[in-house]
Amino acid sequence: MNFPESRMAPRLVADSQSEMTEIVLPNDANTLGNLLGGRLMHFIDLTGAMAAFRHSRTHVVTAAMDHIDFIQPVHVGDLLILKSRVNRAFSTSMEVGVKVWVEHPQTGSLLHVASAYLVFVAIDTTGHRVPVPELKPVTADDQRRHEGALRRREYREAEAARRRQAKQAYAAKKEAELAKS
């Protein structure tokens, strides 16, 4: 498939940065008035998808949310500020980092409440994977995140291989047990 040259030109991290602000309402909270973790994950996924879309300039789907830290609770009435950026682009996928802060509405103070890493895959309108542009890290922080994304990808791949082997070993054991019966 051919892509316009401008769509595949290398991009800077700054080109993908996205920000979203939400107010936490009662329907977003549990019975204690704290933001539901699943609702926060939804906001994180949306913000991450925006960064991936800005980098790839095509449809993206979430492939993994392989790490998330819930650091502090968020309460009804708080303002959530979510910021995302592409950390590294691979052939058809991108790792996106999302950081979440809560802004106290009366004081304006900010508190880091969550961080997550997600992987998005670029697809065309038929759902087939498509290549994504190269990511050019510029700052030292860009480079640190770029290198960290590669380490996390290697870990994800090793973990997937370990799960496949465990599944195969379990299937072989079950087959052997059935053969003895």
What pTM does this model have? Answer: 0.87
| Nearest in space to 81 (alpha carbons), one of 40, 52, 50 | 40
* Residue 98 and residue 118 in contact, taking contact as beta carbons nearer than 8 Å: yes
* pLDDT given at position 105: 82
**Residues pairing with 101 in the sheet:** 81, 112
pLDDT, tens only, 133-178: 999 999 999 999 999 999 999 999 999 899 999 999 898 888 888 8
The identity of residue 23, as a single letter, is I
Separation of alpha carbons 116 and 44, rounded Å? 8
Q: What pLDDT score does 5 carry?
A: 54
Q: What parts of the chain have a pLDDT lower than 70?
A: 1-7
